[in-house]
Each structure stands twice: as C-alpha cells, then as structure tokens.
Structure 1
Amino acid sequence: MKHHHFAFLLSLLAPIACLSIASRVHASTQPTLSPATTAAQADLVEIRSLVPDMAEDIKYAGSDNFVGRPVDGYRAARCYLLRPVAEALARVEHDLRRQHQRLKLFDCYRPARAVADFVRWAHDLSDQRTKAAHYPLIDKSQLLGTYIASVSGHSRGATTDLTLMQCNARGGHCRPLDMGTHFDYFGTLAHTDATEATATQHANRQRLRAAMQREGFVNYSMEWWHYTLEPEPTPHTIYDVPVE
C-alpha cells in the first residue's frame, strides 16, 4: 500500500463513519489500520476454501445495494473472513445442513475504502435512487446522524451479514426464509426483535440466531442479518485489503 493512501485512510477514521448497519465499535480504543496489502498478509481466507458451495449474494460487488452500484474495494463477489471466523462459520453451515438448512451470505469482510465510499454516498443528498427500497421511511439527510457509527465492524474481518434458507430433504432447492425485510433495510422492522415483525418472521430470525450463537456469533440487535464472532481475533485492527 502506498504511504499516502495509508495516511489518507487513517485520516478518515476519526471524522467519517460507516453505516451502523455494518458497525459494532469498540468505543474505548481507536482502531489501527493494518499495513497488510493482501488477504494472505491479513490472514483473511475465502469462505469457499472451506465450504466450496457456500451460497453467496455479495451485494456490494454489484448494484443491488443501498448505494445502487458496486462499492469501492469490491473487485469480486467473494466472502473473506479472518481464518478463525471463517472456520466457525463453516461449522455453522455444516451443522445446518444436517437439518436441511443453509446460510446465504450478503457481505463479510469489508475494506476500509468501502467505508469512505458509503460516507460519500450518504453526503450526496441528490442521489435518492435507492430510497424506496432501502430507506422509505427515513430522509437521507438523517442517515449520517442515525445510521452512522465511527468505523465498520466488517473491516475487522469478524463480521458477516447473512440469512437462513430452508432446503428440501435432499438438501436442494433452498429458499430464503421470510425475515420481514431484505438485507440493508434502514428502519425499525430490521431490528431482530422488531414488534412489527410477524410471528413467523420472529421464529425465522430466532432460528438463524440460535444456529449462529452455537458457534460464538453474536447478533447486532438493530439488524437481523448482522453477526460478529466474539471474542474477535483482532478487535482493534481494521483492514483495507481489496476483495478480489
């Protein structure tokens, strides 16, 4: 990584933020930006190296997301996590398959440069293309104050966004369970224990939470899809290795 790029990213950490839909922050310690420039240097491993047929729909590598375009730092639709996190997630997947269920991943490790891209988008109030789908009940001008935290937990390599699918008796024809909202919906209905959710949606969210908790993943209560392995392997370090 070039020195000027490294310094630029460090300067972003204090004044800018990532959407809280992607954030769990250790408030007492300012995070350190790792100098790693490759996944191997950061000990980030692709989940499909452990589960070759893991279901994925990596949203920020395409245009089906709240910014409406590929996000900076996502050069491929892949899920990377720190090795202990990937191994724990693989155990969740294998356990679920015995029950004819599977996970589907929306996001995993997120480069620090993607954080800056999100913030640039949030400041551009003229861009309202995704409002109807992602923040229909909230004015975009409120996102920075309500859905912003200091640093994205995803950049620490221990957090993943996902859902649960039910498959047939042969483990095929899997379909996502009804969780009440799609991924990256800004609003109270996305809260894991939202009172607006139906009984079926609550039950599905609880199935997902129970499966993840068995391997040490903790849910972020404002987002039914957001899970972090705790304790985190590198709780005070963030990474900017591109997803490629």
Structure 2
Amino acid sequence: MKNFSFLLMVIVLVSCKSTYLDAKKSPVLLDINKETDDYAFVNLKNYSNDFVFDMKYATPDNFLKEKVYPCGECFLRVKTIKSLLEANKAFLDKGYKIKLYDCYRPIAIQKQMWKIVPNPTYVANPKKGSIHNKGGAVDITLVDSLGIELNMGTKFDFFGEEASHNYSNLSKDILENRKFLKEIMLQHNFKSFDSEWWHYNLTNSSADKVSNQKWRCED
C-alpha cells in the first residue's frame, strides 16, 4: 500500500510538472521541421529571430487594463508555427515582418479575462474557449524595415465596426495594408476573423483541444 501511495504521488507530481511550458530561450535557433509532434506547444522565439513581439496581455496596455500573463512569451502548437514561419518569410521577401500581440492563451487565463470583462463581445466565454486556448490563433500586424507598424486604421483590440475586414470607409492605404496582411496569411493556411483585422486562425485548428498549459518565465 505504501509503495502504491508513493507511486501515485510521483505520477501526480510528474503530471503537475508537465502542465508547465519552459520559457527559457534556446542558445541557438531550432529547426521547426525537426519537431515530430505537430500538436506540441513550443516557443516561437526558439525558431526565428524575424518576428517582433509586443505581447499586450503581459502588460496593462490592453482593453482589460490589467496584466494577465506572467511574461510576454509566444507559445503555439508546432503546426501553427510551421505555417506562421512560412507566412513571415513571404512578408520578409517584401520588406516587412510580423509583429505579434497575442499567441496561445491557457484556459485559466481565459477564465481570468472573463472574470474581468464577462462580455462575449470582447472575451470568448471560457466554457467554450477560443482558438487562442488551442494554440491555433495569433493576433498580429505588420512592421516595415524600420520597425514602424503599417497603418491598419484602428489599434489592436478595438471593438468598433471600423476593425472589421468588411468595413470600407477607410483610406486607400489602410485598405491596401489590411488586404496585404490578409492575402499572405490566407496563402499560408490561416483564416481571417471578420470583425478583427488582427486575428488569424490556423485552418482546421478549431477541432483541437482547449489547453491549460501555463508557462514558467525565464529568470
């Protein structure tokens, strides 16, 4: 009985440990194509230096007005990163790169966000979850070679009609910037979200499981 209790304790400890993702950056870039599990969560920073990160929910600079992430990391499923790297390569070839605002979001943080703003217009109900909770969604914009964001007409997480892909009462430059972002993303296995110009879901990612793997921040 004592041996069984000890074994059970070890299993519980290992299980608890495995729910955390390590945010420590690899000293060298890794090859995403060598990852054999497409559904594993990995840190984008370990596979490319060609992205800009502005993880809004790791700061109070967001519509919640609160920091809800422990630190600004971008974890995604391997299959999502494979497509995102290809999309970014296409942008790089044209003199731009992707800037990320949000990536994978544990369901526990989704619940925290819902507690702050319990309104499905702004926050997905955690009972159902969102593609962010499945590691298949990214919130992004583009920056030019000087790191300046392209004008997309609204800020990230602006919830008025002006943020919609279908809203046309904008300048020609803004409409062209949104079209440029959307066309490249759609060419690389992502789908747009009508009401938010910044939000893209990996195709068929809605069938994946909601996850609650949190990350340990690098010291």
Q: Normalising TM by the smaller chain, what interval?
A: 0.7 to 0.9
TM-score after normalising by structure 1: 0.69
2:165 alignment partner, SS class: coil
Q: CA deviation at 1:235?
A: 1.9
Q: Which residue pairs with 1:165 in the alignment?
A: 143
1:92 aligns with 2:87: yes
1:97 aligned partner, one-letter code:
L
Q: CA deviation at 1:80?
A: 0.7
Alpha-carbon distance in structure 2 between the residues aligned to 1:197 and 1:190? 10
Please show how residues 211-222 of structure 1 align to structure 2 within 5 Å: 211-222=184-195
Q: Which has the larger radius of gyration?
A: 2
Contact preservation (8 Å) 2:163, 2:195: yes
Instruction: Describe the superposition over 1:15-66 as per-residue Cα deviations: whole angstroms up to 9, x where unpaired.
Output: xxxxxxxxxxxxxxxxxxxx96033896111111111242010000111011
1:175 alignment partner, SS class: coil
Alpha-carbon distance in structure 2 between the residues aligned to 1:236 and 1:48? 23
Please show how residues 1-244 of structure 1 align to structure 2 within 5 Å: 37-39=19-21, 43-71=40-68, 74-123=69-118, 144=119, 146-149=121-124, 150-167=128-145, 173-232=146-205, 235-243=207-215, 244=217
Contact preservation (8 Å) 1:75, 1:242: no
Work out the percentage of aligned pairs sharing the same amino acid. Answer: 28
Alpha-carbon distance in structure 1 between the residues aligned to 2:120 and 2:185? 30
Q: CA deviation at 1:198?
A: 2.2
Q: Which residue pairs with 2:34 in the alignment?
A: none
Q: CA deviation at 1:83?
A: 0.3
Larger RCO (CA under 8 A, 6+ residues apart)? 1
Instruction: Describe the superposition over 1:99-149 as per-residue Cα deviations: whole angstroms up to 9, x where unpaired.
Output: 1111100000011011111111114xxxxxxxxxxxxxxxxxxxx254454
Q: How many residues align?
A: 182
Give the unaligned 5+ runs of structure 1: 1-34, 124-143, 168-172
Contact preservation (8 Å) 1:65, 1:184: yes
2:212 aligned partner, one-letter code:
D
Alpha-carbon distance in structure 2 between the residues aligned to 1:106 and 1:236? 22
1:47 aligned partner, one-letter code:
L
Contact preservation (8 Å) 1:36, 1:239: no
